[in-house]
């Protein structure tokens, strides 16, 4: 996905972009009352592909309403991270689109990651989720 589309989506949703050093991750979303901001640490998210991955994942939090506090129980954090990922994957890499791309010959995670301009590990998690959710990618899976 072109980065400008992600920035445009943030602008349309009135989500602020902040570049700031982060301790434990390359990105985070902050939401308080009616203000939402995605914070990206460009020292950790080096390059546009890494930033795209962070923005998509954090937009998943926004679209799913999957927020938590840094001191939340681990189980809640894992649940909210998974909920955000699922929402981001459905929005940015829809299952039917992935199937169509595979049919056209983009069959590896690295090819799909390059097509969408995201990091391969994030795409791999998406493909694994879809494979398990829809029992594969063949013509009979709808």
Which residues, 6 or more positions from 12, have their beta carbon under 8 angstroms from its beta carbon? none
- Is residue 37 a part of any domain in this protein? yes
- Is residue 26 a part of any domain in this protein? yes
What's the domain count of the chain? Answer: 1
- Is residue 142 a part of any domain in this protein? no
- Is residue 140 a part of any domain in this protein? no
For residue 105, the domain's CATH number is 3.30.2010
Q: Rounded to the nearest 5°, which phi and psi values hold at 31?
A: -140, 120
pLDDT, one tens digit for every residue, the chain (142 residues): 778 899 999 999 999 999 999 988 999 999 999 999 999 999 889 999 999 999 999 999 999 999 999 899 999 999 999 999 999 999 999 999 999 999 999 999 999 999 999 999 999 999 999 999 988 887 655 4
Integer Cα distance of 137 and 55 in angstroms: 27
Domain that holds residue 14: 3-134
Q: Is the pTM of this model over 0.85?
A: yes
């Amino acid at each position: 996905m072109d980065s400008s589309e992600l920035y445009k989506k943030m602008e349309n949703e009135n989500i602020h972009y902040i570049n700031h050093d982060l301790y434990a991750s390359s990105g985070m979303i902050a939401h308080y009352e009616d203000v939402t901001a995605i914070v990206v640490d460009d020292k950790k998210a080096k390059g546009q592909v890494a930033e795209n991955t962070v923005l998509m994942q954090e937009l998943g939090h926004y679209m799913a309403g999957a927020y938590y506090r840094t001191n939340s129980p681990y189980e809640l954090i894992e649940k909210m991270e998974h909920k955000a990922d699922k929402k981001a994957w459905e929005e940015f890499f829809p299952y039917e689109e992935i199937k169509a791309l595979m049919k056209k010959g983009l069959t590896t995670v690295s090819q799909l990651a390059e097509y969408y301009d995201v990091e391969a590990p994030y795409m791999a998690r998406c493909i694994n989720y879809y494979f398990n959710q829809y029992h594969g990618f063949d013509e009979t899976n709808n």
